[in-house]
Structure 1
Amino acid sequence: MEISGSAFNSGISAIQSGQRRVDQAAADIASNALTQPQQPTPTPPANQVNPAPSLAEQTRPDLAESLVALREGQNAAQAGAKVVKTADEILGTLIDTTA
């Protein structure tokens, strides 16, 4: 029975971890969508250096990275659910065999 409990715990842990990742990615995407779109900065003449990005641009999460993290979280949660389902099926088979 210890193996089954361990599998359940691992599956639940993966589901929770995936959910946290999805929540964080969704918050990042929402914060990215809520910020005002930046106006394109005109290209400075060749003899000038590009100005440093503003603080808002530096701290705003990249949309592509957030979407990848969202998909990773989804996959982690689905994998955890499959682990829990498989552990449940194995435990059911063991109970049927011993009963």
Structure 2
Amino acid sequence: MEISGSAFNSGISTIQSGQRRVDQAAADIASNALGPQPQPTSAPPANQVNPSPSSAEQSRPDLAESLVALRQGQNEAEAGAKVVKTADEVLGTLIDTTA
């Protein structure tokens, strides 16, 4: 029984980890979608062709990285669910054969 309990715990832990990753990626995507917040700044000097990005733009996560993290979280949660399902099936089989 301990093996099955360990599998359940591992599966649940993996689902929770995947959910946290999805939540963080979703927050990153949302902050990226909002775009840079207006900052009261002075106009760049006339001789500066490409002004450096503001600190708000530099701190925003990359959209591609956030989308990859979102998919990783989804896959992680799905894998955890499969572990829990398999542990449940194994436990059901054990109960059926011992009864």
TM interval, shorter chain, is 0.7 to 0.9
CA distance in 2, matches of 1:92, 1:70: 33
TM-fit CA distance, 1:87: 0.1
Q: Which residue of 2 is the match for residue 32 of structure 1? A: 32
Q: Which residue of 1 is the match for residue 21 of structure 2? A: 21
CA distance in 2, matches of 1:59, 1:26: 16
Name the Cα RMSD after superposition: 2.0
TM-fit CA distance, 1:56: 1.1
Moved over 6 A (4+): none
Q: Which amino acid aligns with 2:16?
A: Q
TM-score w.r.t. the length of structure 2 is 0.84
TM-score w.r.t. the length of structure 1 is 0.84
TM-fit CA distance, 1:53: 2.2
CA distance in 2, matches of 1:49, 1:26: 34
Q: Deviations over 1:43-69 (max 9, x none)?
A: xx8xx7854321011101100000000
Q: Which residue of 1 is the match for residue 53 of structure 2? A: 53
Q: Which amino acid aligns with 1:5?
A: G
- Alignment gaps of 5+ in structure 2: 38-46
Q: Deviations over 1:12-48 (max 9, x none)?
A: 00000000000000010011111259xxxxxxx8xx7
CA distance in 2, matches of 1:36, 1:59: 10
- Alignment gaps of 5+ in structure 1: 38-44
Identity %: 87
CA distance in 2, matches of 1:53, 1:34: 16
CA distance in 2, matches of 1:35, 1:89: 47
